[in-house]
Amino acid sequence: MTAATYLFLSLPFLLSLATSGANPKVLGFVSSGFAILLSVEPGGAILPWATGMTVVSVALYERFGRRPV
């Protein structure tokens, strides 16, 4: 796998660093780890990556949408 693939699969964790609170950061880290580990099989990384992106998207909306910096 290329570095770009690993960067794309770790996107939930990287985006979770901009959220407030520890829970989205842990979930982003765990979902990125599962996505990288399950990416050995084709299509194996879709569910953990999508779950992580959903959690992080909601956390980012809560941080910047409702309560601006």
The string of DSSP letters for 15-37 reads HHTTSSSSHHHHHHHHHHHHHHH
What is the spatial distance between Cα 22 and Cα 34, in angstroms, rounded to a whole number?
18
What is the model's pTM?
0.85
Q: Residue 34: what pLDDT?
A: 95
pLDDT by residue (tens digit) across 14-54?
999 999 889 999 999 999 999 999 999 888 999 999 999 99
What is the spatial distance between Cα 49 and Cα 69, in angstroms, rounded to a whole number?
27
What is the spatial distance between Cα 27 and Cα 33, in angstroms, rounded to a whole number?
10
What is the H or E stretch that residue 44 is in?
A: none
2 has a pLDDT exceeding 90: no
Residue keyed to tokens 């779950």: 51
